Amino acid sequence: MATVMPEAAVFQGLSWNPLTDVQQLFTYPFMVNALAAGTIVAVMAGVTGWFMVLRRQTFAGHTLSVIAFPGAAAASLAGLPLAVGYFGFCGLGALALAGIAGSRRSLSAESAAIGALQALALALGFLFVTLYHGVLNGLDSLLFGTFLGITTQQVVVLLAVAAAAVGLVAIAARPLFFASVDADVARAGGVPVSALGFGFLLVLGLSVAETSQITGALLVFALLVTPAATAHQLTARPALGIALSVALALAVTWLGLALAYFSIYPVGFYITSLSFGLYVLVRLGRALGRRRRATARLALRAA
């Protein structure tokens, strides 16, 4: 029975009994690994994404995610594990971005340089895919994500990297917040602003490399930016904001994985659509709230 039921379960799809459906999700080791990996990645992306949005470094984050693509393609080409390519290229990309930020003369020159780096990364990725004679298995999943075939070993690596990165952010939380909000005052007070900026880019590189492994290189933003941006809309309190960012990233990841499991559509699509939907809802809600408050003020003045 135990050997037959799970096989059938996959093809049964949704039973519409929540308890059975959730049980189904945990039937296969691949799905357990996917949920574990998704959870780790969501926590890390929620924390680092909140700081990235605060620091207005989403363009740098996006560039790192584009750099993840040639990393994965190069790893495939060399016959190495994908994670090596992701971490290696994102780490190098973070160093390059830190170099650009360190030598910046103006903000526009900086974003232009980052854009140039992004184009180079995409071109390199395309080159590696072509060198692979165009039959790189799972090009789609490199770009748009997959939750199939995540091994227990991969989960352990994800956990170790995420724990280190989140730990570093926690230790540096207040000086990093200070440097992000008010760099001049922070520097005058003795905060190592430049070193923190460099360290944060490295942590961001690690986060992008991790997130790419679930959402694919092009949909990293669904976990790294959208939940964090939604959290910033919902609250201006820092601790609550980070908690919300993590909670939203977790919610869309779990729901996205579950939906992908029960349907034929890819997981990247679900995670992206869910987080985008949440973001739109929150922005609409805030706009409506503002209008209602404005109307109330007008009514008060008229009375």
Partner 1 sequence: MTAMATSLRPDTGSRKGAAVTFDGAAVRLRGRTIWSDVSLTVAEAAFVAVLGPNGAGKSTLIKAILGLLPLAAGTASVLGRQPGVAKGRIGYLPQRHGFDSGTRIRGVDLVQLGLDGTRWGIPLPGSPSRKRDAARVAEVIELVGATTYARRPIGELSGGEQQRLLIAQALVRRPRLLLLDEPLDSLDLPNQAAVAALVRRICEEEQVAVLLVAHDINPIIGYLDRVIYLAGGGAIEGAPEEVITSETLSRLYGAPIEVLHASDSRLVVVGQPEAPFVHGDRHA
Question: Under the rule (CB under 8 A), what is the footprint of partner 1?
Answer: 170-175, 177-178, 181-182, 184-191, 232-233, 236-238
Distance (Å, whole) CA 202 – CA 35: 26
Local structure of 213: helix, strand or coil: helix
Nearest distance in Å: CB 172, partner 1: 7
Cβ closest to partner 1, residue 54 vs residue 202? 54
Distance (Å, whole) CA 188 – CA 182: 10
Distance (Å, whole) CA 260 – CA 184: 47
Nearest distance in Å: CB 242, partner 1: 10
Cβ closest to partner 1, residue 127 vs residue 173? 173
180: which 2 tokens? Answer: 């992000």
Nearest distance in Å: CB 293, partner 1: 12
Nearest distance in Å: CB 175, partner 1: 6
AA letter at 128:
F
Distance (Å, whole) CA 12 – CA 291: 47
Cβ closest to partner 1, residue 104 vs residue 232? 232
H-state helical runs in the chain = 4-12, 18-25, 29-54, 58-78, 82-102, 107-131, 139-144, 152-171, 173-181, 183-188, 193-215, 221-224, 226-234, 238-262, 267-302
Cβ closest to partner 1, residue 10 vs residue 281? 281
Cβ closest to partner 1, residue 33 vs residue 57? 57
Cβ closest to partner 1, residue 185 vs residue 280? 185
Local structure of 216: helix, strand or coil: coil
Nearest distance in Å: CB 126, partner 1: 36
Nearest distance in Å: CB 168, partner 1: 11
Distance (Å, whole) CA 237 – CA 231: 10
